[in-house]
Structure 1
Amino acid sequence: MGLFDFLKRKTLEEIHFSELEDWLEDHLTKKKLDEKIKAAKQDIEKILERCEDRLEHLGEASLMNDKIPEKEKQIMEGHRKSYIQKIKRFLNDIDVPDDAAQTGYYHAKFSEKLNSLSEETAKNHAVLQHFFGQEVSKIIRDIKNVEQSLSKLQSDIQKEGVDLIKEAKIKLKQYHEDRMRKDRLETEKESQSQILDNLKRKKEKLESRIGELKKSKEYLEFKDFLDKKKSIEDEVSRIETELAAAFAELQRPLKKYTHNTSHEKLVDKYSSDPAGALKEDETLLIHKVIEKMGAELHLLELKEKQLEKTKELMEKFTKSFLSEKRHELSGLKEMNRDLASQINRSVVALNISENENWKRSIENKMEECEREIQATTQEIEDINLAYQKQKVKEKAKEIHPHLRIHDEEDE
């Protein structure tokens, strides 16, 4: 370094953001990392060849002591064969990656496998150490030399700032992927919005069709049938309520009077369902029961207030009154059935019902579509491309502090 080198200004480098990926690749190339990796691989290959020779020598080595018992020899042979197989399998798996960014990961995995190998061959090593200690030690030394070469390669690459370049490439890749995802989501949202617009138009057409049907003469007649049916049902309900209230007041005296008689079931029917019982009571037998009860009221031991109320109702429940109510209910229910039949046969009502069902179906689809649009919108909003781009730039400036990255106007 020259005496005044510190006075020299660092060269400012300017690129566009779209050129950053190529710039990172070019930066890696300038580091001459390929040469470092190639040299390390050649060194490791030599070590592996030497280790293979040592394994072959171990397999052929003879015992120095011929007096070792045969059983111990057999045990030793088993461990020797197993040890050589395991070491060879380990060596065959060694394959240093050409990508500088992968060396750190590969070194870590190699160390893990080496630890596993040590545990796996511990018994073999302990036995063979007694017979071929020198040969085994040389093999172990070769394997450790491979690890040292990998460690040195990783260290050299780290010094060149490869990890920073790797991180920048990862962030840049994530930025591009998220940008593509955002474009896809925006296209998807546009498609969803078009579907929603089509559904809205269909709904408007159905509403217009329903509106026209409800203005038709047929619908006005149908509506009149509905109103009449409602009026009849209200009148039936009024009469049934009137009968129920009256028979509720007569229930106690009638039950006392008919207890253990042939008319007890009849009174029970009138107590639970006066209108239904009246419909079935064609001869108005209940009137005869009430008349006979009137002649024997003094025997029922009713309180004075209840006695007066019973007499009042008995005067009201004449045969003509009951007959009139029975006939009135029958006529009203017959009219109600006729109106129901006409309503059920109404074509316009059927058309309106079908259109309203379609409308409800479309409204359900619209709600689902709106939920999908909302979810897609949220996904789009969660993608912060400006923030990601800034992080990419910051990482690139860590690699080259005097790098200026410009954004294209069309980005």
Structure 2
Amino acid sequence: MKFFTQFFKKNKEITVSAIELDDWIIENMKEYFSEEYKSIKETVKQVNKTKKEIVAKLEKLENAKLVNPNLPEREVQMMEGNKDNYRLKTLQFLDKIEIPKDYLALDEFCNEFEEILTDFNEKTMRAYSILRNYFRNEMQEISMSLKKMETLQLNLFNFMKEDSIVNLKTILIKIKELNDNIVMSNKIHKEIKDLETNFEKEKEKQDKIDKKIKDLMKSPNYNKLKNYNNKKKEIQEDILNLTKKFVRKIKPFEKPFKKYVHDTKKHAGYIENPMQALEKDYQFSILVSLEKIQKNLESYNLKDNVIKKIKESSINKEFLKDLRKDYLALKEEKNKIIEKENQINVMQDFKELEYQKEHNEKKILSLKNSISDKKHLINIIQIDNKKKKLEEKLSNIIENQFFINLE
């Protein structure tokens, strides 16, 4: 394939900006395609000329006289109606035949012409058949001009299938794709720049938040909070030990106690949270239930060693009373510490900073992911690769080094 090679000096470097490339291609190929364009231009002239011929022949049909002037009035009315309809449809058909000024778009016009012609033939078939009976010569002349129009359209279609035209269109399509990708790439690059600016701003904001947290952690009030928190952990550990102590004591009753709770719907809280249940059970009514279980051990199908442990159980009112008293004392101590914590303003400041830090970290991560996604899109577009392929194609065509400037 050799395009307009003869119009360029050998060993010459040519650089054209991407945005001007399609105009440059068309301008520099005019001479190379002079014969093709000349043929197309002549055919287009013939199409327009034929359109005028058909209009003139329609006028001739309009003024044509009947060979037999003595036809019945009804038949004449029918004939006139078909003549008016045929003339209107034909003029509408001609109005739709608009040849594009850009000859490279002619193949689209040719495809549309086929559809328009098919529609025209379907809508005028009956009227044409009727009118041939009255105006054979006039209808034959119109038919010949329409066939000529169809032939001219076919010639245009064949011109568009010429290798040189097809190759030119292919190049122009590739140029448009490149320019579209450049526009998209520039847009994405701007978005990346904006995202990176926001990313840096959020990073700076995060650094400031971290510094505030660090400074806050050095303050005397924060150390107080730290001590209070350690004390709360100690109290919580003591509460846990009390709970374990209670659970160990009541462990032998586990199987019969669960069945008892299921049957009586009483003391379910002791299964879910023993210490909270004991706190509410200030009358120690659980002892009554445990006593009932001890009196009916045979009904629970227990092993001998379990029965022995239940009988030897030392759970009594004094044990539960002391356990409850210790638990309430620990709970009260913990609540007092919480009250002291709430009186220190630094706690609210610390929570607010922690919230800001968490919120800001999410924003930073989101921005980071967005930047990564945009950069991935840039890689998918591959402008440099498409530019290089187009440069190689054009360099081969003109047998000179061809470069595309993206700026």
Say yes or no: TM over 0.5. Answer: yes
State how far apart, in whole Å, the 2-side matches of 1:72 and 1:56 are: 21
SS in 1 for 2:119: helix
Q: Is the CA contact (8 Å cut-off) linking 1:164 and 1:395 kept in structure 2? A: no
> Per the alignment, do residues 65 and 22 of structure 1 end up closer, same or farther by CA in structure 2, a change over 3 Å counting?
closer
Partner of 2:371: 373
State how far apart, in whole Å, the 2-side matches of 1:297 and 1:154 are: 105
- Quote the offset at 1:231 in angstroms: 2.1
Pairing 1:239-318 to 2, within 5 Å after superposition? 239-250=242-253, 274-282=274-282, 289=288, 305-306=305-306, 308-313=308-313, 316-318=314-316
- Quote the offset at 1:366 in angstroms: 1.5
Choose 1 or 2 for highest CA Rg.
Answer: 1
State how far apart, in whole Å, the 1-side matches of 2:257 and 2:166 are: 102
State how far apart, in whole Å, the 2-side matches of 1:139 and 1:238 are: 110
State how far apart, in whole Å, the 2-side matches of 1:394 and 1:284 are: 94
State how far apart, in whole Å, the 1-side matches of 2:47 and 2:53 are: 10
Number of residues paired by the alignment?
391
Deviations 1:242-288 (A, max 9, x none): 3244345357889999xx9xxx898777677654454345455666x
State how far apart, in whole Å, the 1-side matches of 2:266 and 2:204 are: 63
State how far apart, in whole Å, the 2-side matches of 1:267 and 1:104 are: 89
> Per the alignment, do residues 344 and 123 of structure 1 end up closer, same or farther by CA in structure 2, a change over 3 Å counting?
farther
Partner of 1:349: 347
Partner of 1:4: none
Question: Aligned pair 1:55/2:51, yes or no?
Answer: no
- Quote the offset at 1:34 in angstroms: 6.5
SS in 2 for 1:17: strand
Partner of 1:217: 220
Aligned residue among 83, 88, 93 for 1:85: 88
Aligned residue among 307, 318, 321 for 1:320: 318
Deviations 1:187-227 (A, max 9, x none): 33233222222222222221222122223221221122222
Partner of 2:230: 227
Deviations 1:300-322 (A, max 9, x none): 76986455423432xx3354333
Higher mean Cα deviation, 225-234 or 149-158? 149-158
* TM-score (norm. length: structure 2): 0.79
* TM-score (norm. length: structure 1): 0.79
Q: Is the CA contact (8 Å cut-off) linking 2:13 and 2:403 kept in structure 1? A: no
State how far apart, in whole Å, the 2-side matches of 1:255 and 1:23 are: 92
Question: Aligned pair 1:144/2:147, yes or no?
Answer: yes
Partner of 1:112: 115
> Per the alignment, do residues 391 and 83 of structure 1 end up closer, same or farther by CA in structure 2, a change over 3 Å counting?
farther
Higher mean Cα deviation, 377-386 or 278-287? 278-287
| Seq. identity, % | 25
Pairing 1:148-227 to 2, within 5 Å after superposition? 148-153=151-156, 155=158, 161-227=164-230
Using CA pairs under 8 Å that are at least 6 residues apart, name the structure with larger relative contact order, 1 or 2.
2
> Per the alignment, do residues 409 and 300 of structure 1 end up closer, same or farther by CA in structure 2, a change over 3 Å counting?
closer
Q: Is the CA contact (8 Å cut-off) linking 1:165 and 1:396 kept in structure 2? A: no
> Per the alignment, do residues 188 and 250 of structure 1 end up closer, same or farther by CA in structure 2, a change over 3 Å counting?
closer
Q: Is the CA contact (8 Å cut-off) linking 1:54 and 1:138 kept in structure 2? A: yes
SS in 1 for 2:209: helix
Pairing 1:18-97 to 2, within 5 Å after superposition? 18=16, 21=22, 23-30=24-31, 31-32=33-34, 39-66=42-69, 68-97=71-100
Question: Aligned pair 1:237/2:240, yes or no?
Answer: yes
Q: Say what the alpha-carbon RMSD is for the aligned residues.
A: 3.9
> Per the alignment, do residues 65 and 354 of structure 1 end up closer, same or farther by CA in structure 2, a change over 3 Å counting?
same
State how far apart, in whole Å, the 1-side matches of 2:155 and 2:289 are: 117
